[in-house]
Amino acid sequence: MQELIESMRDTMREAPGVGLAAPQIGESIQLAVIEDRAEYLADLTAEQLAKAQRTPVPFHVIINPNLTILDDQSVEFFEGCLSVEGFIAAVDRALNVRVECLNERGEEVTIDAHGWYARILQHEIDHLNGTLYIDRMKTRTFSTIENMLLSRK
């Protein structure tokens, strides 16, 4: 299990990505690795970070997660995915969530997450339940990342 976690961490970082679920690499277990490194945020403005409510998230593992949406607040942002490489689309996600799970040592943990971190958790837990962001996206927003970047110029 620890070797799988290390391999998933390395794969996620090499991509680079902020999360990776075991089913994405062919493992049928309820496990995901998550990390939103400070270096990924370095090119974003303070305004962009505040709008996304995004701060660094240290590396951690969630096993057998149970997701609870804490209120009816949601926000729409563009998401990409290592399973659908090169594309992006707007997805509406809950702003505040709680995840009860096990960590990499088999200890019970409860994570209360807000903003972008809540989005990452929802995205990865969706993978564990056989759902991709394209199943939740606003269809008209689906685009290549290249086209999205060109349209912002």
R_g over Cα of the chain? 15
How far are the Cα atoms of 16, 128, 152 from residue 36, in angstroms, in the given order? 10, 19, 24
Q: How many CB atoms lie within 10 A of CB 113?
A: 21
Say whether 79 is catalytic: no
Structure tokens at 85: 């490489």
Beta carbons of 21 and 47 less than 8 angstroms apart: no
Beta carbons of 91 and 116 less than 8 angstroms apart: no
The catalytically annotated residue of 35, 79, 104, 124 is 124
Instruction: Supply the residues annotated as catalytic.
Output: 124
